[in-house]
Amino acid sequence: MPPADCLFCKIIAGEIPNYTVYEDTQVLAFLDINPCAKGHTVIVPKKHLATLIEMTETQWRATLEGVRQALRRVEAALQPDGFNIGINDRPAGGQVVPHVHWHIIPRWQGDGGGSIHSIIKGKDAGDVKETAKLFK
Ligand code: AMP
Ligand code: ZN
């Protein structure tokens, strides 16, 4: 059972209004209420899952197809110069709403924003050669 107070479950259920960008049986994409850029869109799986690691392969596929469709809608409406697509996963990753979701952020030349690399430049990023040993 999803938590009764989940904001995105309430949006999916129609209890809180949204500006829909794309919808199918598996996902809902809507305009972010506090946009980082014009057309900032949030894509949520309709089934409540708190974090990425809980998602099955089928749910990943369906949600990413929703992301693809939403991206096409945003592209058609706004013709941005580029995009950032991101996920804030768990509090350490900046997640505020505990219902897994993707962000599509349209970008324009000279908009003053950074790249994915500007999220963090961790002092504990480690030595790549050492990290690679963990994947052997
Ligand atoms: P996150 O920090 O990744 O959990 O992002 C949650 C996002 O949900 C934020 O960008 C909020 O601006 C957005 N948000 C919160 N409430 C609403 C709402 N009622 N409608 C649309 N977006 C919302
Ligand atoms: Zn939820």
The pTM for the full model equals 0.96
Nearest CA to ligand 1 atom 13: 32
- SS3 helix, strand, coil % of the chain, rounded to 5? 35, 20, 50
Which residue's CA is minimally distant from atom 18 of ligand 1? 33
Answer whether 26 contacts ligand 1 (Cβ < 6 A). Answer: no
Q: Which amino acid belongs to residue 29?
A: A
C-alpha triplet 33, 25, 37: angle, nearest 5°: 25
Ligand 1 centroid distance, CA of 7 (Å): 9
Active site residue 101: yes
Least distant ligand from the CA of 44: 2
Task: Indicate the average pLDDT of the chain.
Answer: 96
What is the predicted pLDDT for the residue at 10? 98
pLDDT at res. 64: 98
Nearest atom in ligand 1 to the alpha carbon of residue 87 is 3
CB proximity list for 74: less than 8 A, separation 6 or greater:
21, 39, 41, 80, 83, 104, 106
42 lines ligand 1 (CB under 6 A): yes
Ranges of each domain in the chain: 7-133
Q: What tens digit of pLDDT does each residue of 76-126 get?
A: 999 999 999 999 999 999 999 999 999 999 999 999 999 999 999 888 899
Does 4.10.1240.10 match the CATH number of domain 7-133? no
